[in-house]
Amino acid sequence: MSDSVIARLKASTVRRGFALFVMMLLGFLLLYLTATIDAGFVHKAFLVGIAAAVLWMARVMQRGTKGHIELRASGLYFEDGRVLAALDDILRVERGVFAFKPSNGFVVTLQNKTERAWIPGLYWKFGTRVGIGGVTAPSEAKFMSDSLAVLLEERADSPLMNMKL
């Protein structure tokens, strides 16, 4: 089986722009609030810290959502080759309405724990779960999750997987 790209998931331009606008607006409004309210040093320092964190997350999202996620026959990868989830490690794909998943996305449950990683608006990895989605187009995310489900079904039907040792 070749390891060519089956599906590619990238950030929607409009959703990405709106998310960046909202995050930057929140950061600047927090800074404006800090400058205009009559509060103690601790409260102002807290607001500046939250504003800095929000603006930092906006910058991380801006850089990270330039990339895309690829589904290959061997698993999920980020465009630079980082493995998000190897196909052999994936147990299931959750894409239901009540699943704890990113907006317009899906969650992949793994057999083994993975290292933590996060690109706001594109994916997160925590424990045995990988969340894909956020500012992505719903149709592309649905196609990727359906394709991944088909790959998992093919793997389950494989004679090698059903062999008793």
Q: What is the per-residue pLDDT across 77-128, written as a single tens digit (0 to 9) for each? A: 988 888 888 888 888 888 877 677 778 888 998 888 888 988 888 888 988 8
DSSP run (H or E) holding 31 = helix 13-36
Name the packing angle between helices 41-64 and 13-36 (round to 10°).
170
pLDDT score for 73: 84
pLDDT at residue 64 greater than cutoff 90: no
- Is the separation of the CB atoms in 133 and 117 below 8 Å? no
pLDDT at residue 164 greater than cutoff 50: no
> Once rounded to an integer, what is the mean pLDDT over residues 26-36?
94
Q: Residue ranges per domain, the chain?
A: 7-64, 69-162
What letter does residue 73 receive in the DSSP assignment? Answer: T
Global model pTM greater than 0.75: yes
